[in-house]
Chains A and B, each alone.
Chain A
Amino acid sequence: AQTVTQSQPEMSVQEAETVTLSCTYDTSESNYYLFWYKQPPSRQMILVIRQEAYKQQNATENRFSVNFQKAAKSFSLKISDSQLGDTAMYFCASLQWGGADGLTFGKGTHLIIQP
């Protein structure tokens, strides 16, 4: 079984600042997938970024990037030049290799971007 831990219930930063959200996970598998999802107040779950565990290179998507440390089982999300629209709940999630199973989610981090 996989577990995902997000230790920051809430974070607040000023607009245009850079913020890093933490995530650690536990799995007995050597290959798996990791994700960050965003859930704004509209409650729509939006896939922000994904990482295949066999890839050493950290994934990037525009202002979003990850720091994937496989040995430490750490998967943090960095948001650069934060914008007011980034205000949302952010969930870290893991998926077993093959993708036939459901996602295992962390408890989430509420990110608030202050104007």
Chain B
Amino acid sequence: SAVISQKPSRDICQRGTSLTIQCQVDSQVTMMFWYRQQPGQSLTLIATANQGSEATYESGFVIDKFPISRPNLTFSTLTVSNMSPEDSSIYLCSVAGARQGASYEQYFGPGTRLTVT
């Protein structure tokens, strides 16, 4: 499967600020996704990052709060804007359509643990 890295691995931020999380893949992939995992909870899809066009957001998530970029087939960013303590979560990117594995299989990055104080 593809090797996926995320930066930063963790951060502590003050409320009202913004943080940009990077997701880098070692090979071109078809699909990239961003998920949120709140403390002790399951994963919830935030959006699909589309290469060269606006991301597709799930219900309850908006572009102003979670702007996403995907400039090419190996890189994406997620920004958490105007943060509040409720944004404290693990943010994970996933990819599908890598060289190895079935085209629909999703593989996850190591996650970014965000704490908002």
Contact = CB atoms under 8 A, between A and B. Distances in A.
A44 B42 contact: no
Contacts of A91: 42-43
Contacts of A104: 45
Tell me whether chain A's interface is mostly helix, strand or loop, or mixed: loop
Given A43-B110, A47-B106, A50-B105, A101 B48 contact: yes
Interface residues of A, number: 23
A98 interface: yes
Interface in B62-117: 90, 92, 94, 96-97, 102-108, 110-111, 113
A37 B43 CA distance: 11
A3 to B, nearest CB: 12
B48 to A, nearest CB: 6
Interface residues of B, number: 26
B110 A103 contact: no
B62 to A, nearest CB: 16
A84 interface: no
Interface of B: 1, 31, 33, 35, 41-45, 48, 58, 90, 92, 94, 96-97, 102-108, 110-111, 113
Interface of A: 33, 35, 37, 42-47, 50, 91, 95, 98-108
In the A-B complex, the 10 residue pairs with the closest CB atoms = A99-B104, A102-B45, A45-B108, A105-B42, A105-B43, A107-B42, A102-B33, A43-B111, A108-B42, A44-B110
